[in-house]
């Protein structure tokens, strides 16, 4: 059922290892696509109840939907960073610039070659985006991209899942823990991870021999499997490791994009920050190993709350 060729799911544009609901599933499976999502929800719930693993990793905001958590603007960044950045640029525009852009409350959807214009709000085609209603437009874009495109399919998936596991029983988990429970802890080989890591920025010249990078790998090596998986989630967006190892990590364009550690100054950021589209972590030039260990643990742990430490 997770096979993209079935038409129910498609690979995420930002992470080829993660699956997202196909908005065109009604075209691919016109007779029973909603029944399939209800069935899949029950299978996922039964697997979790019995301690069995689900093979497919989903995009992060779907785990939030399973938990009943609200989605946030940063979730859009994990789904489509270019779209996220364009909306962020719009939020900084003045009234004159928005008038020049000439945007209305609609979105364009390409469903298997059929281009459709969708109203983000009732009468969206006749409502122009202005400085006054810009927050409403951003919220409408967020709601459509993370829910509206496949609301019927998602509702069936959730109903099937809750048929087996009532929602209150999930309240003790965060969305990262839920992924690990459903998909299992990955087998992470440290030698493979380190061998297929690239270094940039302040670490470009010395690479793994830079003092901060030596501390980083020393700290990560001491992590248990769950914490290593959480770090992987933090940087790449999923705990999954490619079948062929870290040398096969892909970026949002489908090309090989290795795990990357970029050295940045403490003036740019105090805590490590991630760019899941590029499998990159920005690691500040800390002065002590203890400071690096504390800041890294806080950044990785707080990622599951959805709040940006910066």
250 secondary structure, DSSP code = B
Give the model confidence (pLDDT) of 217-250 as tens digits. Answer: 999 999 988 899 889 989 988 877 776 788 888 7
18 flagged as catalytic: no
Q: Which residues of the chain have pLDDT under 70?
A: 15-16, 243, 252-254, 304-310
Q: How far apart are CA 74 and CA 14, in angstroms?
A: 14
**pLDDT for res 252:** 63
Q: pTM to 2 decimals?
A: 0.72
In the numeric block, which tokens belong to residue 7? Answer: 């038409």
- Among residues 36, 141, 213, 277, the one annotated as catalytic is 277
Length of the chain (residues): 310
Give the model confidence (pLDDT) of 137-155 as tens digits. Answer: 999 999 999 999 999 999 9
Q: How far apart are CA 137 and CA 293, in angstroms?
A: 40
**pLDDT for res 180:** 85
**pLDDT for res 309:** 52
Q: From 5, 81, 13, 3, select the one nearest 250 (Cα to Cα).
A: 13
Q: How far apart are CA 123 and CA 134, in angstroms?
A: 16
Q: DSSP string of 20-42?
A: EE-TTHHHHSTTTHHHHHHHHHH
**pLDDT for res 226:** 87
In the numeric block, which tokens belong to residue 125? Answer: 């085609």
Residues 138-171: b if buried by 16+ CB within 10 A, e if exposed: bebbbebbbebbbeebbbbbbebbbebbeeeebe
């Amino acid at each position: 059922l997770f096979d993209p060729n079935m038409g129910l799911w498609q690979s995420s544009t930002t992470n080829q290892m993660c699956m997202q609901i196909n908005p065109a599933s009604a075209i691919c499976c016109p007779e029973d696509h909603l029944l399939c999502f209800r069935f899949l929800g029950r299978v996922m719930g039964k697997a979790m109840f019995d301690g069995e693993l689900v093979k497919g990793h989903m995009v992060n905001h779907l785990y939030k939907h399973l938990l009943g958590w609200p989605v946030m603007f940063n979730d859009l960044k994990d789904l489509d960073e270019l779209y996220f950045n364009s909306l962020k640029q719009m939020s900084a525009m003045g009234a004159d610039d928005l008038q020049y852009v000439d945007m209305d409350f609609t979105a364009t959807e390409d469903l298997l070659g059929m281009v459709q214009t969708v109203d983000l709000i009732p009468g969206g085609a006749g409502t122009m985006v202005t400085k006054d209603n810009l927050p409403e437009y951003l919220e409408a874009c967020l709601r459509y991209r993370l829910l509206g495109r496949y609301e019927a399919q998602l509702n069936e998936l959730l109903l099937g899942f809750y048929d087996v596991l009532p929602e209150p029983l999930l309240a003790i988990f965060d969305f990262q823990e839920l992924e690990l429970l459903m998909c299992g802890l990955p087998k992470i080989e440290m030698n493979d991870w380190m061998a297929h890591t690239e270094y940039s920025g302040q670490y470009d010249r010395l690479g793994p021999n830079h003092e901060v990078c030596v501390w980083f790998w020393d700290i990560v090596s001491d992590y248990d499997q769950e914490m290593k998986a959480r770090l992987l989630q933090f940087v790449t967006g999923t705990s999954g490791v490619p079948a062929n190892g870290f040398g096969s990590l892909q970026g949002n364009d489908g090309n090989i994009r290795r795990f990357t550690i970029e050295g940045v100054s403490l003036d740019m950021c105090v805590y490590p920050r991630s760019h899941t589209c590029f499998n990159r972590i920005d690691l500040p030039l800390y002065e002590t190993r203890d400071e690096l260990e504390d800041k890294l643990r806080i950044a990785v742990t707080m990622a599951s709350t959805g709040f940006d430490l910066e």
